[in-house]
Amino acid sequence: MSLQKIPDILPMTPGDHADFAAMMRRTPGVVLRTADGYAATQRYLERNPGLSFVARPADGEGIVGCAMAGHDGRRGYLQHVMVDPDYRHLGLARTMVDHCLVALLEAGIEKVHLDTLATNHDAHRFWQHLGWDDRRNEIVKFSRVLVEDSNA
């Protein structure tokens, strides 16, 4: 990669899905779920327009970063924040997250949550560095899968 070339940060579209899925597969620390398929991603982007972003080198192929955001009208949620190793520590994740947070705030959302794997200590350090509160020990998260798919 050329160190001078900072990738463009662009709104994510359904057309980014193949590159996004490839990036998910090659990035340790994130898990590709059935819910990350094309149809569900398209639905997510349609329900949450202008809230998700990708980093795409102007002269390269594929995407090298992603940050997805959505909301339920009350709270915002960040997910799939990732940057390829060759493009880390250039400020891409911070910038994409900032884009997501500005767009959420403009949509009237005042609090944003995100999940990380408990074992992803690098990510914990990253979010702490960005000022996110990880002391939500009063919350226990319950989930229920509604289909016969352990990777839903």
Ligand X SMILES: CC(C)(COP(=O)(O)OP(=O)(O)OC[C@H]1O[C@@H](n2cnc3c(N)ncnc32)[C@H](O)[C@@H]1OP(=O)(O)O)[C@@H](O)C(=O)NCCC(=O)NCCS
Reading the block at residue 123, the tokens are 């990510």
CB of 54 to ligand X, least distance (A): 13
CB of 53 to ligand X, least distance (A): 12
Triad 23, 12, 102: Cα angle to 5°:
115
- Of the pair 8, 108, the CB lying nearest ligand X is at 8
- Of the pair 9, 107, the CB lying nearest ligand X is at 9
- Of the pair 45, 81, the CB lying nearest ligand X is at 81
CB of 143 to ligand X, least distance (A): 17
Within residues 61-120, the interface with ligand X by CB under 6 A covers: 81-83, 88-94, 116, 120
- Of the pair 1, 39, the CB lying nearest ligand X is at 1
Total residues at interface with ligand X (CB under 6 A): 20
Residues that bind ligand X (CB under 6 A): 27, 29-30, 81-83, 88-94, 116, 120, 122-123, 125-126, 129
